[in-house]
Structure 1
Amino acid sequence: MDFVMLTGVGLLTGVTTVLFGFGGGFVAVPVVVGADAALGGDAMRVATATSALVMVVNAAFATAVTPRRVLLALRGSGRLLVLLAAGASVGALATRLAPADVASWAFIAYVGLTITDLLLRPGFLRPYAPVEAASDDAPRPLSAFLGAPIGAVAAFLGVGGSVMTVPAMRRAGHTMRVATALANPLTLAIALPATAVSLGVAAVPAATDARVHLVGLIDVRAAGALLLGALPVIAVLRRRPPRIPDRVHAWAYVGLLGVVTVAMLFLA
C-alpha cells in the first residue's frame, strides 16, 4: 500500500516539477517522513536524502525537455551554479549532524515565513511591473552571491531551492512560467551534491527492523515509487503545458506551500 501511495504522490511531484519548479522536494519530504515513521527521529534525515535523489532525476528530466530559448536565460550563470552546489554540500552535511527535530521544525518555519513574505511583500502576487513586460528571451539573472546561502538552506531542508529561486526570479520580472522552468536546472545544481553526500553516509541502524531499504540515507523503494509516478507526468506536461493565467499560477504556488506546511505540522 505504501508503494501505491508513493507512486500516486509521484504523480503530484511530476505536476509540481513542471508547474512550480519544485522538483518534488516539498511534496516528497512530508510523504517520506510519514511512510518511514518507523525510523523515528531519523525519518526526516532519510526523507531529505530521498527527496534529493528524486529531485536530481525529476529536475534533470524537466530541464532536458525545457525549450532551449528558456534555458538560455541562465547563460553566464556558471558562478551561481558553482556556489549553489558548494552551499548544498555544506547544507547536506549539516542535516546529517543536526538533531532530527531541528530539520523538521526548520522546514516548517522556513515555509511559513516564505508564505508570509509572498503574501505581504509586493513583487510576487503583485508584480512591480506588468508581467507581460517581462521578456522570456532576455530575463534578468539571479545574483551569484545568493548561490551559497540558497544551496545550503535548500539541501538542509531537502527542498531543492525553488522556494527561494522562483520568488527571486518572479520579483526580477519573470512570468511564473519562466521562473518555474528555470528553477529546475538550479535545483539540479543543489540536488546533485546533496545526493552524493547522502549516498556516502552510513545507513540508519533502525532501518533493518523497520524493513526500510536504504542506500546511505536514501530510501530506494520510496524514491523508485515517486519517480515511477513523476516521470511520465513531466513528459506529458512539458510537451503540452497547461495555460494558466499568471496571477492564478502565483496564487496556486502559495497555496501549495500552505498545504505542505499543514502536512508537516501534523507529522512533526
Structure 2
Amino acid sequence: MNDLALLGIGLLTGVTTVLFGFGGGFVAVPVVVWADAVLGADAMRVATATSALVMVVNAGFATAVTPRRVLAALRGNGPLLLLLAAGGGAGALATRHAPPGLVRWAFVAYVALTIVDLLLRPGFLRPRAPETTRDAPRPLPAVVGAPVGAVAAFLGVGGSVMTVPAMRRAGHTMHVATALANPLTLAVALPAAVVLLGGAEAPAPAHTHVHLVGLVDLRAAAALLLGALPVITVLRRRPPRIPDRIYAWTYIALLGAVTVAMVLSH
C-alpha cells in the first residue's frame, strides 16, 4: 500500500474521529495490517501499536477543538480517566507479549459481539426516553475505566466502541457521545502509545519499506495523520447535521465494515 493510499485512508480516519469518536483506531488497524503484510504474523502487533499513536494525535487534536460546553459533561470524571489510562498501559503491555493471531481474532470477535449487542439490546438504536424533561444523562461509573482501557489498548481500538454505546445508553445523543469519546480515547491511547513505542524489539527480518520505532510504523502513522488532521479541523468547525437514528445505524454499519476488512486481511 503506497503513501498516497495511506493518505487517502487518513482522510477517512479524520471523518471517523469526528463523527464516531474512533480516533482512527478501527480504520488504522486493518489498514496497517494490509500495508505491512510483509511482516507476516507480526503485522497485527505493528498495526495495534501504530493505531495507538495515530489515536493519540487524532483524539488529542479533536478534543482540543471540541466546544468546552460539550466537554463539560466530563467534569468530575477524573477517576474514570485515570483508570482508563491505567488499563490502557496494561493492555498495551499484554499486546507486546500476546500471540499476533490471538489479537487479530480477539479484535474480530469483540467487534462482532458489539454489533450484535447494539442491534438486540435496547438503548442504542432505541435510546431510553427520559422520565422527566429534567433528567440529565448519567455519568459513566469510574469502575469501568480499567477493563475498558485494557481491552481497548490490547485490541488497538481506543475504547470508543465501548464508551459510545455506554454514553448513548446513559442518555446522550450520538453527537455528544461521539464527541466525548475523543478525550476518553486519549486517556487510553496515550499510555498505550508510550508502552508500545519504547522497549519493544522491531519484528525481524527487517524490510526496507517498513520504518519501525518499537512496534510503531512511523511511515504509515505519518501518512494517516497527514490525511486526518485537516479533516478533523473542518468537520469540528462545520459538523454535518445527521438525524440521531441514522447516525446510530451508520455507527453500526462502520463496525461491520471494519470486521469484514479484518477477516479479509487474514
Question: What TM-score comes out, normalization by structure 1 length?
Answer: 0.96
Structure-2 change in CA distance of 1:134 and 1:59 (3 Å): farther
Q: What is the aligned partner in structure 1 of residue 200 from structure 2?
A: 202
Distance of aligned partners of 1:207 and 1:236 in 2 relative to their CA distance in 1, 3 Å threshold: farther
* Residues 151-188 of structure 1, C-alpha deviations (whole Å, 9 max, x = no match): 00000000000000000000001000000000000000
Which residue does 2:75 correspond to in 1? 75
- Equivalent position of 2:34 in the other structure: 34
Task: Give 1:55's aligned residue.
Answer: 55
- Structure 1 stretches (4+) deviating beyond 6 angstroms? none
- Is the contact made by 1:207 and 1:214 (CA closer than 8 Å) also made in structure 2? no
Letter in 2 for 1:12: L
2:175 is matched with which residue: 149, 168, 177? 177
1:115 equivalent in structure 2: 115
RMSD between aligned residues? 1.6
Contact 1:203 1:214 in 2 (8 A): no
Query: After the TM superposition, which residues 81-120 of structure 1 pair with which residues of structure 2 at under 5 Å, given as runs?
Result: 81-120=81-120
TM-score, normalised via structure 2 length? 0.97
Partner of 1:235: 233
Determine if contact 1:84/1:151 at 8 Å carries over to the other structure. yes
Q: How far does residue 209 in structure 1 lie from its aligned partner after superposition?
A: 2.9
The one-letter code matched in structure 1 to 2:237 is R
In structure 2, the CA distance between the partners of 1:96 and 1:134, relative to structure 1 (3 Å rule), is farther
Q: Distance in 1 between matches of 2:160 and 2:170?
A: 15
CA deviations on 1:52-80 (whole Å, 9 max, x unpaired) are 00000000100000000010100000000
**Deviation string, structure 1 residues 91-127 (Cα, Å, up to 9, x no partner):** 0000111101000000000000000000000000011
**Match of residue 140 from structure 1:** 138
Deviation string for 1:23-50 (max 9, x for gaps)?
Answer: 0000000000000000111100000000
Displacement of 1:201 in angstroms is 2.9
User: Which residue of the partner structure matches residue 13 of structure 1?
Assistant: 13
What code does the residue aligned with 1:108 have?
A: V
Paired residues, number: 266
2:186 alignment partner in structure 1: 188
Whole-angstrom distance in 2 between the partners of 1:58 and 1:205: 26
Matched with 1:253 is 251
Match of residue 220 from structure 2: 222
| Percent pairwise identity | 77
Q: Gapped runs of 5+ residues in structure 2?
A: none
* CA distance 1:247–1:202, shift in 2 (3 Å): same
Match of 2:150 in 1: 152
Structure 1: runs of 5 or more not aligned: none
How far apart, CA to CA, are the structure 1 residues paired with 2:36 and 2:233?
Answer: 29
